[in-house]
Amino acid sequence: MLVRAIDGTTLTVPDTPAVPTRLTKRRGNHGGTGYPQLRLVACGTRTLIDAVFGPSTTGETTYAAA
C-alpha cells in the first residue's frame, strides 16, 4: 500500500479584472483581505501525486475527494 499525505494552503493572487469572476476576497475580523485567494491541496509523500486548486471558499476535505 502506498502511504500518502494530503495538505492544503491558501495563496494570494493578483487582483486583476478577470480574477474576481472566479475567486473571492476573504472576510476577516478587521475587514478582509486586499487580494483574492485560492486554495491549493496537494497529495503525495516524497513526491507529488496530484494537486487541485480553486476558490478558497471550498474546504480542503472537499478538494481532497477530487
Q: What is the pLDDT of residue 33?
A: 63
> What pTM value is reported for the model?
0.68
SS3 23: coil
Higher per-residue pLDDT: 53 or 1: 53
pLDDT digits (tens, 9 = 90+) for 10-50: 888 888 888 777 777 766 666 666 788 888 898 887 788 88
Q: What is the pLDDT of residue 31?
A: 61
Give the pairing type, strands 27-28 and 6-12: unpaired
